[in-house]
Structure 1
Amino acid sequence: MSIYDINVLTNKGECKSMSEYKDKVILIANTASKCGFTDQYTQLEELNKEFKDKGLCVLGFPSDNFANQEPDDDENIAKNCQLNFGVTFELFKKGDVRGENAIELFKYLTQKQGFKGFDKAHPLSQKLEASLAENFPEILQGDGVKWNFTKFIVDRNGEVVARFEPTADFAKIKECIKSLI
């Protein structure tokens, strides 16, 4: 099985094959509108604008898996992202990104790139890890997505080559993308 065998739902409920992204570099992020990392929409859009013409596709997958930080429906999520962050990259149907009900894409991504820890240099890493340990200790177990704005990079051959936690430095994400473009 490859990533290109997986189907996803657009934010309008239409089925889309990941094979439509063959020969592209893909950045896949789970997103939320009411999160301490929500400003990353802006940074994702900047990457989208800078590298779209060079073969990058940024894909956003809204999720309400973490502390009810994405309460809106798909239509309002899209409006909020466009109005508040200027998002032009593709947004998909809100769904689970971890656990038994996780969409197939995120099950696949987390099998290919496991959790390696939060970036200790980020000012919110320690707070996030402590909050998870106290309030949601099950999230820290295994390789599942740990929080909103976890990002996966897929190369032009469909290989999941990197995983960046929400605390990752965007300069490292950009460096990874540049190496693949």
Structure 2
Amino acid sequence: NNDTEDEERLWRDLIMERVTKSADACLTAINIMTSPNMPKAVYIEDIIERVIQYTKFHLQNTLYPQYDPVYRVDPHGVGVLSSKAKRAKCSTHKQRVIVMLYNKVCDIVSSLSELLEIQLLTDTTILQVSSMGITPFFVENVSELQLCAIKLVTAVFSRYEKHRQLILEEIFTSLARLPTSKRSLRNF
């Protein structure tokens, strides 16, 4: 039994090492693109899209479940707990590697907003970016990410007039789903 636990821990460590290296690669690419006086050849759409996909995936599947228990999936499939019950059972201790990933993802989101000021992106990419920017407003315990997301959504809103209506609709739809009791009010 101890061998399987060691093996699982080694797999987890290996996976998290790869996730962290991928975050570093995303940050490196974005930092190069947001450096001053870069030639147009640096803004490779495929790389930008992959950075956005990576960020979105790890927000949804790694970070939101770690920071807000409402986003956790019960691995045993036993009963559906209310969001209040999930939050009550939540531990506030975070693994160092998760905190490190969270900080890197915040940097990526912030750098994406800088990239939007420099380079025009396709409509499909902007749709991905704006949904990625709006979601954190409705997640608990991610205030640094929320600040980065405000910067990102503001950049999209100011630069892409066609997307303003969609951003507002997405915010209002999400607001309608929020709890209405005073105890459950969100910061943003």
Higher helix proportion (structure 1 or 2):
2
**How high is the TM-score relative to the length of structure 2?**
0.28
The higher-RCO structure (CA 8 Å, 6+ apart) is: 1
**How high is the TM-score relative to the length of structure 1?**
0.29
Higher strand proportion (structure 1 or 2):
1
Greater gyration radius = 2
